[in-house]
Amino acid sequence: MQEIRVELTKNPKQKPAPGAPLPFGTIFSDHMFLMDYDKGKGWHDARIVPFGNLDMSPAAMCLHYGQSVFEGMKAYRAVDGRILLFRPDRNMARMNSSNDRLCIPQIDEKFAEKAIEKLVSVDKDWIPTSEGASLYIRPFIIGMDPHIGVHPANHLLFIVITCPVGNYYPEGLNPVKIYVEKNYVRAVRGGMGYTKTAGNYAASLKAQDEAEKQDYTQVLWLDGVERKYIEEVGTMNVFFKINGEVVTPELQGSILPGVTRMSVIEILKKWGVPVVERRLSIQELADAAKDGKLEEAFGSGTAAVISPIGHLKWGDDIMVINDGKIGELSQKLYDTLTGIQWGKIPDPFGWTVEVK
C-alpha cells in the first residue's frame, strides 16, 4: 500500500465553540486528503495537507463536462469517546461503481478507507460532541486535464474534505412535506441515477427550487419513462409502510443505492418486519392512503438518517400520513441506527469501524 505523507497546518483555524450552530456543509476542518491519478502511473502521491484552494486550469474537464463522483459519510464521537465510521466499505464500493459509470479509474477501496480514517484521526478534534452532531466526510474525484474536448480525463484528483455538522433535528424528528414531481425527471435507466455524480444533482435543482417556493421540503421523483413508479426523494431513498408491510422501490439503475436504505432493510429483516423491494406506483400509494392503509412513510439517507414524511402532494391529491406525526416504526429505526452510530447500543451487524 502507498504511504500517506502528512503535512500539518501551521495556522490551525478556530474551532466552533461547543454547542455553536453548525450549518450543514459550511465549516471545514483543518486538513484534506489528496491523491493524483495519471494515465500510465495510476493513483499516486497520497497526502494529507492543510485545507486550501486547488490550483486548476479554467479548462479543467470536470468544470465543463461533469466528470466527477462523490460520496457522503460521517464520523461519530461515540458516547464512550471512541470515533466510529458507519459502513465505510459500502461507501468505497459505491464510489467504484460510480467511477465505472463515469470512466474514472477504480480506487483501491481498502486504501481509500485507510486514508479517510487517517484524515479523521488527524482532525479528530473537529468532531463535534454535542448531541446528534458529527463530522461529515466528503470524498470526491474530479477530472483535471486542461482540455476542452469530451473524453475521459487522464489526470484526476481524489480529494477528501470534512465538515463538522450539527444535529439534523435540533427540535426532534419533525415530519416533512414532500411534493410528487410531475414535470421534471431526475434519471432514467441506462443513465447515471445509481451513481453519486454532479450531473444528477444539477438535474434536480429546478424541481427542488419550485418545491421550496411552494413550501415543500423536497420532491418525490417518479420514473423518467412512464412517470408512474416511485423512485426516491431528493437526497434520500424512500420507504412506505402499507398495511403492515414495508415497501421500498427496487433498485433498477435510476435509483441511488443508499447505505442507509440497505441498513434499514437489514434491520427490518432482523426484526421480522415484512419488507419488500418492488415497483410501487404513485396510484397504488394514493389508493392505499384513501383506504387508510398507508401507515407510515419516511426517507433514508446519511444526513438525516430517517426523515418521516407527514404530507405528500400528488397534483390535487393530498395524502396526510399518520396524522402528520412520526410513525412508531420510523422512530424505532431512527433510534436503532443512531444508537449504533453513536455506540449507544450494541452493533450486532458489525457495521461500525473504530478510528484510532
- What is the rounded distance in angstroms from the CA atom of residue 304 to the CA atom of residue 260? 10
Q: C-alpha angle 107/164/51, rounded to 5°? A: 60
- Could you give the CA distance from residue 300 to residue 330 in angstroms, rounded to a whole number? 10
Cα gap 132→195, rounded to integer Å: 28
Ranked by CB distance to ligand PLP, the top (closest) residue is: 258
Q: Which stretch binds ligand PLP (CB under 6 A): 6-14, 132-140, 233-241, 288-296?
A: 233-241
Dig out the grid coordinates for 254 from the structure: 435510476
Q: Which string of x and - marks every residue 36-75 that binds ligand PLP (by CB under 6 A)?
A: ------------------------------------x---
Helical H segments across 193-293, by residue range = 198-202, 205-213, 259-271, 282-290
Quote the least distance from Cβ 38 to ligand PLP, whole Å.
29
Residue 216 CB, nearest distance to ligand PLP (Å)? 17
Q: Are 147 and 174 in contact (CB under 8 A)?
A: no
Residues 159-218 that bind ligand PLP (CB under 6 A): 196
Residue carrying the nine cell digits 408491510: 245
Shortest spacing between CB 292 and ligand PLP, in angstroms:
29
Say how many residues touch ligand PLP, by CB under 6 A.
14
As measured in angstroms, the least distance from the Cβ of 200 to ligand PLP is 6
Cβ-contact 183, 207 below 8 angstroms: yes
Residue from 235, 254, 322, 330 that binds ligand PLP (CB under 6 A)?
A: 235
Residues 6+ apart with CB under 8 A from 221: 181, 185, 186, 187, 207, 230, 231, 232, 233, 234
Task: Specify the residue, 118 or 261, whose C-beta has the smaller distance to ligand PLP.
Answer: 261
Pairing of strands 176-180, 305-314: parallel
Q: Supply the minimum distance, in Å, between the C-beta of residue 196 and ligand PLP.
A: 5
Burial of 227 (0-12, 13-18, 19+ CB in 10 A): middle
Least distance in Å: CB of 4 to ligand PLP? 25
Q: Which ranges of 238-327 does DSSP label H, i.e. alpha helix?
A: 259-271, 282-290
Q: Contact with ligand PLP (CB under 6 A): which of 261, 280, 321, 336?
A: 261
What would the x/- binding string for ligand PLP be over residues 79 to 118, using CB under 6 A? ----------------------------------------
Cα 224 to chain centroid, rounded: 22
CB of 6 to ligand PLP, least distance (A): 28
For residues 36 and 156, is the Cβ–Cβ distance under 8 A?
A: yes
Binding mask 237-256 for ligand PLP (x = CB under 6 A): x------------------x
State the burial class of residue 150 (Cβ atoms within 10 Å of its Cβ: 0-12, 13-18, 19+).
Answer: exposed
Q: Quote the CA–CA distance of 54 and 63 in Å, as a whole number.
A: 13
Q: What x-and-dash track marks residues 284-323 binding ligand PLP by CB under 6 A?
A: ----------------xxx---------------------
Q: Which is nearer to ligand PLP, 48 or 161 (CB)?
A: 161
Q: Which of 48, 142, 236, 309 binds ligand PLP (CB under 6 A)?
A: 236
CB closer to ligand PLP, 74 vs 77: 74
* Residue 258 in the binding site for ligand PLP (CB under 6 A): yes
DSSP readout, 318-352? EEE-GGGS--HHHHHHHHHHHHHHTTSS--TT--E
Contact residues: ligand PLP, CB under 6 A: 72, 196, 232, 235-237, 256, 258-261, 300-302
